[in-house]
């Protein structure tokens, strides 16, 4: 009897366990359904829907690319329209700064020391027999004042920052040394340049020494001369903008 009683209770416990498993499985299934429904609002879970979503994204990206490309083309066209004017302005600045070689008619001025021997007045000193820095400056300034468009000294381009010094009869120009004769070449109207030399008082003083002590002087016109581009440093090391100008 005891064994039969025990046998009758086993099926009941088994049915309870199966029911609990089914309930738990149902709850899990419901949770998965809810989770799937929640994710469907963000991304499709089926393959056709995923393909359609990615296709829509590609169409949006293509539209954005087309808009950006149209904007790039518009800006490029504007730059092309502005390029000629900008290029001309850049060329003018480079020419004025001496960064390009130039050719044209002009004059050549040649200065040289006086001969070491010869008959001269007693008051003449050795210093009077050589070309000095101020003599070259007088010629260069006169030519600029006469409208020279470009200039060179000893085949080096003279620009706004050019500086030279004479020590004895040696010329120091942009780190190089030169001995006379000194040659200044200027491109411009030949008659105007020559007239500017003749009218300059400092050049007139030099010409007096040409007559008295025999300093060298020569002016010649050239229908075509080529001046090299400036190849020195362009930056200013010690100059600064005045406070009033800023």
Is this structure's pTM higher than 0.85?
no
Where residue 40 falls among pLDDT bands split at 50, 70, 90?
A: very low
**In this predicted model, which residue has the larger pLDDT, 76 or 44?**
76
Kindly indicate whether the domain formed by 102-227 is annotated with CATH number 3.40.50.1820: no
Where residue 242 falls among pLDDT bands split at 50, 70, 90?
A: confident
| Bridge partners, 127 (sequence order) | none
**In this predicted model, which residue has the larger pLDDT, 102 or 68?**
102
The pLDDT value given to residue 81: 62
The pLDDT value given to residue 246: 55
Collapsed DSSP state (helix, strand, coil) of residue 182: strand
**In this predicted model, which residue has the larger pLDDT, 110 or 89?**
110
The pLDDT value given to residue 93: 66
Supply the DSSP symbol for 123.
T
Least Cα distance to 165 among 155, 152, 156, 178 occurs for 178
136-159 pLDDT, tens digit per residue, is 999 999 999 999 999 999 999 988
Residue 79 clears pLDDT 70, i.e. is over it: no
DSSP-H helix ranges across the chain: 2-40, 47-97, 133-145, 190-199, 201-213
Residue 198 clears pLDDT 90, i.e. is over it: yes
Question: How does the average pLDDT of the chain come out, rounded?
Answer: 77
Write down the residue that tokens 């020559």 correspond to: 194
Residue 99 clears pLDDT 90, i.e. is over it: no
The pLDDT value given to residue 186: 97
* Interacting residues of 95 by C-beta distance below 8 A, sequence separation 6+: 102, 150
* Alpha-carbon gap, residue 169 to 213, rounded angstroms: 16
Residue pair 128/166 in contact (Cβ under 8 Å)? The answer is no
Residue 52 clears pLDDT 80, i.e. is over it: no
């Amino acid at each position: 009897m005891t064994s039969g009683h025990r046998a009758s209770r086993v099926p009941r416990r088994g049915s309870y366990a199966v029911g609990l498993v089914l309930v738990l499985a149902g709850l899990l299934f419901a949770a998965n359904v809810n989770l799937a429904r929640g994710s469907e609002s963000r991304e499709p879970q089926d393959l056709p829907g995923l393909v359609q979503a990615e296709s829509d994204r590609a169409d949006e990206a293509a539209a954005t690319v087309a808009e950006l490309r149209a904007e790039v083309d518009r800006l490029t066209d504007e730059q092309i329209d502005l390029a000629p004017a900008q290029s001309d302005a850049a060329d003018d600045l480079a020419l004025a700064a001496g960064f390009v070689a130039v050719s044209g008619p002009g004059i050549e001025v040649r200065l040289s020391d006086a001969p070491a021997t010869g008959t001269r007045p007693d008051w003449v000193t050795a210093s009077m027999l050589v070309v000095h820095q101020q003599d070259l400056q007088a010629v260069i300034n006169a030519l600029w004042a006469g409208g020279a468009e470009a200039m060179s000294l000893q085949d080096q381009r003279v620009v706004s920052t050019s500086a030279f010094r004479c020590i004895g009869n040696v010329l120091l120009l942009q780190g190089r040394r030169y001995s006379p004769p000194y040659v200044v070449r200027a491109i411009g109207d030949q008659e105007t340049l020559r007239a500017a030399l003749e009218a300059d008082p400092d050049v007139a003083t030099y010409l007096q020494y040409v007559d008295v002590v025999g300093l060298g002087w020569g002016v010649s016109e050239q229908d075509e001369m080529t001046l090299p581009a400036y190849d020195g440093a362009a930056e200013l090391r010690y100059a600064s903008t005045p406070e009033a100008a800023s």
